[in-house]
Amino acid sequence: MNDIALQRLHGVLLQHIDSGAVPGVVALVWRTGGPVWFEALGARVPGPGGAPMTRDALFRIYSMTKPIVSLATLMLVEQGRLLLSDPVGRYLPSFRHQRVQAAGEDGQARLEPVRRDATVQDLLRHTAGLGYGWGEDAMAQAYRAAGIGARERTNAELAAALGALPLLRQPGSAWEYSRATDVLGALLEVAADEPLDALLRRLVLQPLAMHDTGFSVPAASHGRLAEPFARDPETGGAISLLDVRTPAPFLSGGGGLVSTAGDYSRFLALMLGGGSFGGVRLASRRTVAFMTADHLGGIPAVGDVLATGYGFGLGFAVRRAAGIAARAGAPGQYGWSGVGGTLFFVDPQEDLFALLLMQAPGQLDRMCELYPNLVYAAV
């Protein structure tokens, strides 16, 4: 790696901290078997008397939970516990006989039956016809009225409520970012007869020594939790992130984990290593290649969450071509981010991955473009 370019990367992140855009970051670049750059910059707790950032700071990683849950799913597939072609309704009864919202010839909303059932693969690649319930449209209002995403409800209760609602579109017809991985968490609990937190610990977290990763932060570790600004420095809007200091009934497979750079780098090292890291093999090389291949093909993407030039695999966005996208990268690169301000990408061709953790939601989109450019400048 180019040391001058890595120094520039360090300087650009400091500029964002000094300008007041982000309170602090932990950033890591890994290549050919180990970290080549690992820095903690700025403040872990912003404001007067706040604590400085540390490498072992704990971050709410939100949707970077999804790849870990996806790996656990494929591990159960390898064990013969479920099939990707299994209908979701085989495990979650409320997903049987689903209906889809549609517009009739008179323009009035109506419901029609699904042409095929949503499958486990649909949940993994966000083609199950679900949404996130963002915005103020009728479906978002229905999601909120049904308590979708309430932390007081269990995974089973969320799945029961969500499955009973009309789908946004026919399963398999479009990619749309959604609550699908939350539903997948509920499905795994049924398939494995085990709560999601215990399942993830047994299959992934304990074997990889990811001891700081979980759905809540124990009291002894509260002093390592990274915090955001009280208000977004650009919009002035209040910033409210998950309260992870106490356990909640909802174990969100789509966005509930807290982790550290050290822990998450072990997961990414396993993925980069084709399912093996530190003498531990959790999945086969072919399974990892299958997960990180594009599973959309000609299926269109709805919305702007999935960047131009990317398809989607089983838990990861997957780069399709060297060009088209507005950020540096290469075909076969894969990654994802978390709404709280965390992101990663893995490049098997370069034997590289990069991780950036911050608690600055308003800066995520910019960093998703900026950080890969700075990292690849050092290659």
Q: Which two tokens stand for residue 137?
A: 């449209």
**Best CA proximity match to 53, nearest among 227, 241, 238:** 227
CA distances for 86 relative to 41, 46, 69, 125, 251, angstroms: 46, 47, 17, 14, 23
CA distances for 141 relative to 31, 135, 190, angstroms: 46, 8, 28
Percent of residues in the chain assigned helix, strand, coil, to nearest 5: 35, 20, 45
How many angstroms separate the CA atoms of 333 and 312, rounded? 11
**Best CA proximity match to 53, nearest among 40, 69, 38, 68:** 40
How many angstroms separate the CA atoms of 80 and 89, rounded? 18
Strands (E), 114-264: 258-259
CA angle 204, 208, 209 (to 5 degrees): 115
How many angstroms separate the CA atoms of 62 and 300, rounded? 25
CA distances for 259 relative to 26, 130, 205, 247, angstroms: 12, 27, 11, 15
The amino acid at residue 265 is S
- Of the residues 19, 63, 70, 216, only one is catalytic, namely 63
Q: Is 216 a catalytic residue?
A: no
Catalytic positions are 63
